[in-house]
Each structure stands twice: as structure tokens, then as C-alpha cells.
Structure 1
């Protein structure tokens, strides 16, 4: 049986990136993990995840949660460092 941590390791994503997907999609972490894993193996997946994180940042700023927006910005910067193909679109 695979654990959450096993699946996380196979997804090429961090827990914080999975949390951002879950926030964007309004779903549980395990569902976000599967979605993130799928997207990381899709041709346009990395840019789509980047867009989700950017949407989360905008939503946090809009509601005045600047601390969360700053955290998400660090998550996005790390994601784009590890997955430079995420910057190919926009």
C-alpha cells in the first residue's frame, strides 16, 4: 500500500505546492496530490500549476491576507526554479 508520502515523492511536487493546488481547487490534499501528479506529466501541466499558484496569490491579496500571499509567492518561486518549463506560458 502506498502512503501519502510515497505519492508525494513520485509527484515531483512539494507539500506546499500540493497545498496550493488544494486551495485553488477547493479539494482535499490527496485529490490535489493526484491532480498535481497528473499535471506534472502533462505537456502543459507545469504552467497550469504555476497559474493556480498565481491565482491563489491574487485571491489572498484580494482578501487582505498578505502573509499568505507572501508564502505562496515563495512557493511559486521555488516551483519555477525546480520546473523552469512552468514559465513557458503567459
Structure 2
């Protein structure tokens, strides 16, 4: 039997990155893991994940949840350092926020 931990491990993303996608898209964690894996395969998808996390940060700030905003900023920093290639970051400057659903 495959577990959620197995699926997260196979996605190449951290649990926190998957949780940010799940929060943003209002998806179960298992579906967010699959979506995250799919999106992380292309520069455009990587920008989409980055924008999702940025949206989650903005939402936490509006809700005055500074602890959550701080955690998400760490998640964003980790994601950009470990997943986005330089071309994706460069081309992503000035892009709007992206939503999948």
C-alpha cells in the first residue's frame, strides 16, 4: 500500500510545499502532491507554484496570521532555491498570480 508520505516523496516537493498548494487550490493533500509534481516539470508550472505560495502569504497577512505568513515565506525561499531554474525566475518577473482551478 502506498502512503501519503510515499506520494509526497515521489512528488519531489516538501510536505510544506504540498500543503501550500493544497491550501491555495482547496485540494486534498494527495491531489496537491500530484498537481505539484506535474507543475514542477516546467518553468511555467514552477512559476505557478511560486505564485500559489505568494498568494498564500498574502492571504495569511490579510488574515493577520503572521506566524503562517512567516512559515510560508520560508517555504517560498526553499522552493525557489531548490526547484525554480534561473530562466523560470528571470521570466517570472512581473507575471501576475496564477490559479489552476
Q: Same fold (TM over 0.5)?
A: yes
Q: By how many angstroms is 1:3 displaced?
A: 2.4
Deviation string, structure 1 residues 42-69 (Cα, Å, up to 9, x no partner): 3411111000000000000011111100
Q: Which residue of 2 aligns with 1:87?
A: 89
Q: Which has the higher helix share?
A: 1
Number of residue pairs aligned between Structure 1 and Structure 2: 90
Please, what TM-score do these two structures have when normalized by structure 2?
0.81
Please, what TM-score do these two structures have when normalized by structure 1?
0.90
Indicate yes or no: 2:75 matched with 1:75: yes
Q: What's the C-alpha RMSD, in Å, of the aligned pairs?
A: 1.4
Q: Which residue of 1 aligns with 2:9?
A: 9
Q: Which residue of 1 aligns with 2:55?
A: 55
Gaps of 5+ in 2: 94-101
Q: By how many angstroms is 1:84 displaced?
A: 3.2
Give distance in 1, aligned partners of 2:5 and 2:63.
32
Please list every run of at least 4 consecutive aligned residues from structure 1 whose deviation after the TM superposition is greater than 3 angstroms. Answer: none
- Structure 2 CA distance for partners of 1:84 and 1:42, relative to 1, 3 Å: closer
Q: By how many angstroms is 1:87 displaced?
A: 2.0
Gaps of 5+ in 1: none
- Structure 2 CA distance for partners of 1:67 and 1:45, relative to 1, 3 Å: same
